[in-house]
Structure 1
Amino acid sequence: MQPSIRVPRLRPYRPAAVVVALLLACAPLVACSSEPDDSPLSIPTYDPEAAASAEASESAAAAEASASAAASAEAAGVVTAESLSTDRYQVTSIPEDLDELQTEVLKAFINYDQATWDVWFTGAGIEDTESLLTPEEYENFVNNFNAAQDETTDGMVRVAVFSVSISSIYASEPKAEVLICDDQSRVVSYDSAGNDISDPKTQQGRYKKAITMIYRDGAWIKSGGEALSANECVV
């Protein structure tokens, strides 16, 4: 009788590349799970809720970083389109390489324009705009606002600033012109009953405007302006 020979039990062959692939499969996904009960082979599974949570966290972090960058730029005296914007008044672009005086005019214009739009959006604070306009411009603004007191305004304004030019710098009241594209396509007006009374022809358009600012009593204020075109400029 020949002696019995014990044949060793061979373990299944698993290429190293497969093992590495399995280990790396979950690496980029924060929503992977390796619970043994969910996958008999311990292969990571995809969790949609965890993925959505991770995406939301990333978006929030990006928004926070953007706001922090804008705040840092403003604190350093750097004016950007983002630092000049609010929730309802978005500045989409400003000219590059403005000097100190042009930047002062730009900030004064944005301050005036935001303040007057805030009056339309909130229906209050019109007296706070008096120092931002000449007496004639303020009177016109008050008259227009009073004529529409039964209406409410909602939405958002978008403004692109094309240029800021200074003229009559040595005059008793120096002047400046701010050339803009005023996009009111997202502004909506309602009557007292809540009906949409927006007029696409006269209100919800993109208007290229030249705004005149003058330097009076130590500040740049709005003294006039004119519309140059309708629905031709781009913000």
Structure 2
Amino acid sequence: MLQMDLIRENALTAVEELEEGLRQPLTPLQREELLTRLSTYRRIAAISALLAEGDVPVFRHDLRLSATARRELLLSSPESAAPSRFRCASRVEPLFDALAAGEIGLVRDIAQYSPHRWVVDEEFEDDFRYADFLREHLLAGAKTPSPGEERALAAFQKCSGDSGSPRIAVCEAISNRDQDAFDAALEDLLVERAAEFRNAGPPLHPQRFHTERHVFIEGLALLRLAEDRGLSTQPEYRMMPGLARR
């Protein structure tokens, strides 16, 4: 896929420029911005490698580096400081990268150091509640819901109300180990995801658009969470190729 080769080449060029920028004197906010962008371009590079060459080791390597950039960002800011727009909990994409890559140590580090507070001016509450549920679920590391996971799920449910959000349904199914509910919620999430790309206007970030429309990293991460809780998954899903899970 020539287009994917070009996208990967451009993404890696951006990675080099960002890494050079990170070696310069920066304010804390500037550093957080560059690390956030670095994570994004590592994800683009990962997906384009999978689509262009079916290169699973490189795919996982770049996802790991995306998650590593997020961990560096979280560790570079004191926990007592008010989270910036780059540090707020709802920036969960690198957490999904770590899960999809099978990097459990990185997963736990990101969950542990992610902010526990909703940053009202920087993130939607439902996005924060989703991230908070994931954090509590991962830190518990148990086959049954922990009190923290139950609290976070209840807060997510209260925030979502009757929205019919597939994400809240997926979280409920994973927490309750409900196979039928998980299968239905995941299908709804895939339908929603496809519609988002189908109905999107001109993309603000074309490289991200043309990679993430084909490979759903969040979905791959949710499959891993479901399997860890004892639920069954299928070998193949649209936008979640079995190749990426080997």
TM-score by length of 2: 0.23
TM-score by length of 1: 0.24
Indicate the structure with greater helix content: 2
Indicate the structure with greater strand content: 1
